[in-house]
Amino acid sequence: MREERILKGSLWIVSGQFVSMALQAAYFVLMGRTLGSREYGAFVGVVALVAVLSQFSSLGMEMILLRNVSRDRSSFAPTWGNALRVFICGFAILLLAACLIGRATLRPELRALIPWIALSDAFFGKLVQLASRAFQGAGDMRYCAKLGTSVYAGRAALAAALCLYVHRAHATADAYTWAKIYWVAPFVIAVVAFWMVTEKFGRPRFERMRLRDLSEGLSFSFSNSSISAYNDIDKTFLVSLGQTYAAGIYSAAYRVIDAATAPLYGIYTAATPRLFRAGRRSVSDARAQTQMLLLRTAPYGVAVAIGLYIGAGLLPHLFGPSFRGSVTVLRWLCLLPFLRVLQYAWGTTITASASQWNRTAIQLGAAGLNVLLNFLLIPRWSWQGAAVASLITDGFLALSSWIVLHVIQRRESFGVQPALVTAPSSD
């Protein structure tokens, strides 16, 4: 019964990933055709800035909520209350920080996008994520998957409506037009999600927060912010230099890469509970489990890389003629899916069998390397510099994860036990 429940939950998560991938693809195609490469690039550059900062708006409390609820359902009320309190205070700080950074790095017309995008992604979007983690912690993967997918569905529907209006009315839309309505879908989903959580688990209760929860949540915030930094900050660099066309064609190609690697992320996410149980026994057990996954997913990474290189010429037909430059960009980036197979496999093993801080340290190092490379390369080589920085960063992540995992495994063989992380129970 337990294994059947785990399998059913995994199927919900993986199917949710596939549906989200399809909806994201539809959304990006619609926005590319509606805004064009320059306005699309400007919008994505501001989204990237908010995305990096938004990881700190909740201080990782969504993961603490997941952990606590999965272990003890009665802990929901105080953990939910603390998560909401941290999240609301964190959003206010995030908005101020984003506006200050935007004032220093972005053109005046782009700064006006920040409040709208922050409201959508860092407030309503984060509230939906918190609610989704509550359902995941309770073992209800159905609602967890549905909430995650609903945001993409809402945005795709809104993008379709704007695209239809622009073409029917022969009007034009820019990044600011889209930003002003970008928050509508997440707002509706957030209200519904909050109501669902209250009906299912009860009202929040505000109690004194444990320092341990803040510390552990902070590690997840650093980890997620690092991931967002080395995946997205290059778009902000391009936009800050006024290279909105380069940001547009680069972002379109990068979104295709993200869509192609979404199934990989879903597979390793679904396997995480099993890896946690194996990692609790030993690093070697967790690595053996990952090795079996790697043997199955590595060929996918190679096949996708080849497919992206060959099929890159289709991008202008999907996004519109202003995205012709994305063909070359995608061919530069086509190795990323294979590199992500390696880093997902070895990185997930580290998280499952040792402290999350080990993986966070690697990701922080990768983020720092990526920012440095972007600073050095983008002013001179535009999107080519961003592509080189991305390839080097993902290669660094894969190699560093393998080295750290090898060191942890050798220490275990000599009788030095790593600081184990307890897997959330699915009961």
Predicted local distance difference test score (pLDDT) of residue 424: 38
**Does some domain include residue 425?**
no
As for how many domains the chain has, the answer is 1
Q: Which residues of the chain have pLDDT under 50?
A: 1-2, 418-427
**Does some domain include residue 211?**
yes
**Does some domain include residue 210?**
yes
Predicted local distance difference test score (pLDDT) of residue 301: 92
**Does some domain include residue 426?**
no
SS (H, E, C) 177-242: HHHHHCCHHHHHHHHHHHHHHHHHHCCCCCCCCCHHHHHHHHHHHHHHHHHHHHHHHHHHHHHHCC
Instruction: Give the C-alpha separation, 412 to 114, whole Å.
Output: 48
pLDDT tens profile 284-297: 777 788 888 888 89
**Does some domain include residue 87?**
yes
91-114 burial, b at 16+ Cβ within 10 Å, e below that, comes to beebbebbeebbeebbeeebbbbb
**Does some domain include residue 254?**
yes
Instruction: Give the C-alpha separation, 250 to 336, whole Å.
Output: 14
Residues with Cβ within 8 Å of residue 36, at least 6 apart in sequence: 248, 320, 322
- Domain containing 264 equals 2-413
**Does some domain include residue 127?**
yes
Q: What percent of the chain is modeled with pLDDT above 70?
A: 89
**Does some domain include residue 376?**
yes
Predicted local distance difference test score (pLDDT) of residue 426: 36
Indicate the DSSP class of residue 172.
-
Query: Which pTM value belongs to this model?
Result: 0.79
